[in-house]
Structure 1
Amino acid sequence: MWTTEQLRMLIDERKNNNEHYHDLVEGGKKMFWKELASKINLLFEEMKKERRLEMVRNTMKNSIVNFGRNPAEKEKAAKTLLLLSEEGNHHDYNDDNDDNDDNE
């Protein structure tokens, strides 16, 4: 299922490329929609990953503050946050438990 934001992007792209779209033959029109759908899905998947990573970072930051009384726990939380930040910079974050949401 497409979100309202994704549908808006589909409509806008179609409007912006109206002349090009009408110049396409039947097979080209199908390819236009497939390529556009892929582009939107990739864009929104990246946005979802960034939001998830930001939530994890915020949780870890809160953990560091909450574990401030115990230096060992604070250090462990800080190291975990650093690792998560490095993963996020390389876009290695992966959550296989969330395959069936927004983009079906």
Structure 2
Amino acid sequence: MSAQWSEEQTRMLIDERKNGNEEYHRTSIRNKRNFWEDIANEINRVNNTNYFTGEDCNKKFLALTRAYYTTVAYKKAKAEAESLLLSTNEGSVHQLL
């Protein structure tokens, strides 16, 4: 069963990952597990819980980044479609005049 994340815990996950960004990119793939375990331990310590694991943190962060990039791509595509529609409609108006 996956952990349930509160908004505060999610914010802490993002902040911890952001603060450890340099370390994360220096860490070998083999040792990334320890990186995520350290974040899980800190979240558990601050929230007086014991159910977050490094794997939970890694999966949650990946889901957040996927959602972010999906939203960015959607907004970009929507803006491009609206721009195309607008330019097509303007062309039609000019043809009528």
TM-score, length-normalised on structure 2? 0.49
Q: Which has the higher helix share?
A: 2
Larger C-alpha radius of gyration, 1 or 2?
2
Of the two structures, which has the highest relative contact order with CA contacts closer than 8 Å and spacing of 6 or more? 1
